[in-house]
Amino acid sequence: MVETMFIAGHSRLPAGMAAKNVYETLTITVEIEKKFGVILEASCTLATEHGRDYIGRLLRGYSILHGVDEIVEAVKQNYYGKATNAITAALADLHYQFQQIKQKAQV
């Protein structure tokens, strides 16, 4: 039985970002462990490979089981790019998607 799932969270990118020339939205994708919601791998649609890698490393190891406040705080304390608000909004959407999946699984 597969013990992980793949989920995406989305948000709008702010004007003036390089990624906005390619994408209208910022997408964060994660592979998470199902039972505890721990992020095993993460990726996002920032324009630079370095930015994508950094966010992936930053999110790894956090659990979204009980919310994303701790992750959002880590982003605010460590990421100083223009996409901070878009990243935090995408994390909130990611948590919402996770909660919806967990609710459907219990029905």
Provide the greatest CA pair distance for the chain: 44
Q: What is the pTM of this model?
A: 0.87
Residue 39, domain extent:
4-106
Find out whether 99 and 9 touch, Cβ atoms under 8 Å: no
> Total structural domains in the chain?
1
The C-alpha atoms of residue 48 and residue 106 are separated, in whole angstroms, by 39
**Model confidence over 20-59: pLDDT tens digits?**
555 578 899 999 999 899 999 999 998 889 999 999 999 9
Average pLDDT over residues 2-26: 77
Residue 42 belongs to domain with CATH number: 3.90.1010.10
Find out whether 46 and 25 touch, Cβ atoms under 8 Å: no
